[in-house]
Structure 1
Amino acid sequence: MKFKKTLAFAQQLDKEDKLAHLRNQFHIPKDKDGNDWLYFTGNSLGLQPKATKEYINQELKDWANLGVEGHFEAKNPWLNYHEFLTDKMAKIVGAKPIEVVVMNTLTTNLHLLMVSFYRPTKTKYKIVIESDAFPSDRYAVQSQLKFHGFSEDDIIEWKPRKGEELLYIEDLEEIVATQGDEIALLLIGGVNYYTGQFLDIKKIAAIGHSKNCIVGIDLAHGAGNIQPNLHDSNVDFAAWCTYKYLNSGPGSLAGLFVHEKHSKNKELPRFAGWWNHNKATRFNMRQPFDVMEGAEGWQLSNPPILSMAAIKASLDLFDEVGFENLREKSEKLTGYFEFLINEINSDDIKIITPKNPKERGCQLSIQVKNADKSLHKKLTENNIITDWREPDVIRCAPVPMYNSFEDIYTMISILKGLL
């Protein structure tokens, strides 16, 4: 649509927004005078749904009143609590329920998945990552290589072209075409944390599989933000956290995806625990290990209920609204944000996130010329909450669940004044 750079226009967009009511279902942090912060860091930590307290209190109440019997008699019995999350999480990432489970934390899940899917040989052992992968992904890959007797030199980096920030899929094709016989695994961030670029996951899977490489995706900045359609993409595995766009609270549990094509392969090596043993015989004890089919076969321990209750509160809200509606608003919200930034027409800043809405989520990464972090600090002093990523980027994410068009207008008005 054609945007206008007036407050009245922003307010009219909010009036027409069918999801505007969602903002009232979140706690918006306030300044010392009681005014709402302009919060643009859902890409780092999502805001708390007001329902979260009720969901957690239900489990505290059942624990107080039932003790251990809460595993069977609680309003939401704890024994299989993770199953309350599966269908709704599967919808968000575009998967079948058998392919998804909520467990552990993100990097833990990546390690558990690599136990199964990174099976290097003497000739096929290298790992491809983006050159600007999130540090924890790089550390995980480095440690896996060392564990198997290889070195950090066996990482192949998919890099932007000289003088550019974004990745080209053709460059990945070239890497795999020329070095694929030595590559065992591609582990790629589906949405790059720094630039906000949403990569073509299906294409990445096809490229990797053309040389019999396993393909894994880190969706930390994708889940709840874009629609990755994991099943149709044909990637082998994926993992993501839930405390960013999925609003589950700091350090909350993560999600894991294993494609259905691997679901019945009980010969895949994996670390084992009580909770990936067959449900039917789990409590018989003293049984030989019998791994469950599907993503549940990567669980280790019984679920931490209080964290899962917070995830359930958020997923129920996503399910009520419909992710396709959130994505539609997100594209409009981010497009308006982009329009107003470009209208500033300053040589001191530029957006490095792709212009094509299909190649980004709601995050826009603003590169600051001659960066010294001072602009970010001034925004914070004005109660505009963004985040800074070295060396020179301010990341801003207008989240469709709780950000408004007027939020964006006000933020840009202040930014323009600071510049």
Structure 2
Amino acid sequence: MDISAAVETLRKGQSPAFPAEAKKRGFAEKLDAQDELRHLREEFILPTTKSLRKKALDSKVNGSSPDTAPHCNGTQNGLQNGDTQSDYVDSPSIYLVGNSLGAQPKAVRQYLDAQLETWASIGVNGHFTSLDESPLVSWQDMADDCAKRSTDIVGALPSEIVIMNTLTANLHFMMASFYRPTEKRHKIILEWKPFPSDWYAIESQIRWHGLDPAKSMVEIQPDDNFYIPTEKILSVIDEHASETALLLLPGIQYYSGQLFDIPRITRYAQERGIVVGWDLAHAAGNVELRLHDWNVDFAVWCTYKYINAGPGAIAGAFVHERHGKVEHSEDDGKFVFRPRLAGWYGGDKSVRFNMAKTFQPTPGAGGFQVSNPSAIDLASLSAALSVFNRTSMSALRSKSLLLTAYTEHLLNDILATQSGAGKQPPFRIITPRNPLERGTQLSVLLRPGLLEHVGKALKEGSVVCDQRKPDVIRVAPVPLYCTFLDVWRFAEIFRHAIETST
């Protein structure tokens, strides 16, 4: 199978034709041999079958290599005839949960050590000093440096990106500036099942303004397969346009894995006078984004999923350049800028240390900062971004399209053998089949009662993926560190779990 031709087909919104040999191990190995990004896996530390059983720290850090990935044919515990459990003790796990927490880049330890050495060696002077041989810039410049390294990830100008806080905190900060309800326009349009934190943020912002969520929250409902057609979104916008102040949707719906048509929806809502914001928690580092070109008003994202900066890592926000302007009034000499919650670190660096009472924000998204960001957090993010800077989102998306399509093909093969003749299908994929309407995640809705059995089998086979009760498992083969062989191994373990469930 020619990878380039398959990717071209996928980028047209069509599924490639996989040959009959696709369900064999050798086919996956051939795809891996053609993969131009396979070297990036060496930049990560993946949990191993042994480390997943850790109960205490032992000063040992597991390594990983695509050459040491074990194989299986779906037999109990993922072992093949002639293999023993000892053959698997130090083998990489099948890590398909980057949509929840990305794997650790090897660079993180180096970057954190550099930050700690700087702090220990020169103390407070680290704010303004970059030491030779360090991968880091001075602490005061680290957030800006991370913003510059994130431009390809979100498709924005460096000045439109600010690295600060955490995802939900940034959502609150952005809504404080962009949700400006009036008596006539007070509604927020959202989708039916936002991540709970988003729901809480939206609901609490509405209450903060003295409004009733029952009257000001408009939910867009999906069809029976958890899919929300773009036309449905546009029709809801039309229905509520005259009363809507803000449209706030996820770039990718966390439960179903659906990728929304961000440029079309943004344009349509803005033409009707609605401010548009996007939660890109599951989209940043996963799919190609063009926030500046799409004229998005604001966006927020975390960095611990597909960007791999670590649990609870510092987050990012986008503010389009038209909203970040800082002008000087000739009438009274005051600065004119978009209203926001202000803090010292949002002040322009040229006057920040003057300690003046007059707030002069940094032009662009940086003016929305409030506090001095953690240098430790920024060091971890900088390390993660150093891996992204060795490739491009276009290249990652190309691999992701094929890796996800291959996963879907193997799952469909399992489904074909376990359905029919009066059998109730054991599962269905609720993520859109159109490759242009999804990222690297496939959400598998299991028949009621199967989750516990399947989850146990995956755990025994050292497959790490997440569960959304009562019946969904989310499988995310991240292109930075997942291989086609990983996908094949997962499918074999999953196949055996399904076959032994009845």
TM-score normalised by L of structure 1: 0.97
* Identical columns (%): 44
Name the structure 2 match of 1:322: 392
Name the structure 2 match of 1:18: 36
Match for 1:92 among 153, 157, 176? 153
Match for 1:342 among 412, 419, 422? 412
Report the alpha carbon displacement of residue 287 of structure 1 after superposing the two structures with TM: 4.0
- Distance (Å, rounded) in 2 between the aligned partners of 1:69 and 1:401: 36
Q: What code does the residue aligned with 2:278 have?
A: I
CA contact (8 A) 2:43 2:387 kept: no
Q: What code does the residue aligned with 1:358 have?
A: L
Report the alpha carbon displacement of residue 391 of structure 1 after superposing the two structures with TM: 3.1
Which runs of at least 4 in structure 1 moved beyond 4 Å after TM superposition?
Answer: none
Name the structure 2 match of 1:365: 443
Does structure 1 residue 159 correspond to structure 2 residue 221?
yes
- Distance (Å, rounded) in 1 between the aligned partners of 2:461 and 2:123: 48
Q: CA RMSD in A?
A: 1.2
CA contact (8 A) 1:281 1:287 kept: no
Report the alpha carbon displacement of residue 164 of structure 1 after superposing the two structures with TM: 2.7
Name the structure 1 match of 2:129: 73
CA contact (8 A) 2:152 2:392 kept: no
Q: What code does the residue aligned with 1:288 have?
A: T
Name the structure 2 match of 1:27: 45
Match for 1:306 among 365, 376, 382? 376
Name the structure 1 match of 2:55: none
- Distance (Å, rounded) in 2 between the aligned partners of 1:193 and 1:235: 20
- Distance (Å, rounded) in 2 between the aligned partners of 1:205 and 1:406: 38
CA contact (8 A) 1:82 1:308 kept: yes
- Distance (Å, rounded) in 1 between the aligned partners of 2:154 and 2:426: 37
Does structure 1 residue 270 correspond to structure 2 residue 343?
no
Matches within 5 A, 1:220-239: 220-239=281-300
- Distance (Å, rounded) in 1 between the aligned partners of 2:357 and 2:200: 36
Report the alpha carbon displacement of residue 382 of structure 1 after superposing the two structures with TM: 2.0
Does structure 1 residue 385 correspond to structure 2 residue 459?
no
CA contact (8 A) 1:66 1:74 kept: no
- Distance (Å, rounded) in 2 between the aligned partners of 1:389 and 1:24: 30
SS at match of 1:321: coil
CA contact (8 A) 1:249 1:310 kept: yes
Tell which deviates more after alignment, 75-84 or 239-248. 75-84
CA contact (8 A) 1:131 1:159 kept: yes
Report the alpha carbon displacement of residue 77 of structure 1 after superposing the two structures with TM: 0.8
Match for 1:215 among 255, 266, 276? 276
- Distance (Å, rounded) in 1 between the aligned partners of 2:112 and 2:128: 17
- Distance (Å, rounded) in 2 between the aligned partners of 1:80 and 1:402: 29
- Distance (Å, rounded) in 2 between the aligned partners of 1:72 and 1:292: 18
Name the structure 2 match of 1:119: 180
Q: What code does the residue aligned with 1:35 have?
A: S
Q: What code does the residue aligned with 1:126 have?
A: K
Name the structure 2 match of 1:176: 237
Deviations along 1:325-383, one digit per CA (max 9) or x if unpaired, are 11111111111111100011231011111111111110010110114531223212221
Match for 1:105 among 135, 142, 166? 166
TM-score normalised by L of structure 2: 0.82
| Structure 1 residues not aligned, in runs of 5+ | none
Report the alpha carbon displacement of residue 272 of structure 1 after superposing the two structures with TM: 0.9
- Distance (Å, rounded) in 1 between the aligned partners of 2:484 and 2:229: 32
Say how many residue pairs are matched.
Answer: 418
- Distance (Å, rounded) in 2 between the aligned partners of 1:13 and 1:356: 22
CA contact (8 A) 2:190 2:220 kept: yes
Tell which deviates more after alignment, 196-205 or 319-328. 319-328
CA contact (8 A) 2:457 2:493 kept: no
- Distance (Å, rounded) in 2 between the aligned partners of 1:383 and 1:319: 30
- Distance (Å, rounded) in 1 between the aligned partners of 2:111 and 2:493: 37
- Tell which structure's C-alpha radius of gyration is larger: 2
CA contact (8 A) 2:287 2:393 kept: no
- Distance (Å, rounded) in 1 between the aligned partners of 2:270 and 2:460: 49
Name the structure 2 match of 1:147: 208
Q: What code does the residue aligned with 2:363 have?
A: E
- Distance (Å, rounded) in 2 between the aligned partners of 1:376 and 1:124: 46
| Structure 2 residues not aligned, in runs of 5+ | 1-5, 7-16, 51-88, 132-136, 327-335, 419-424
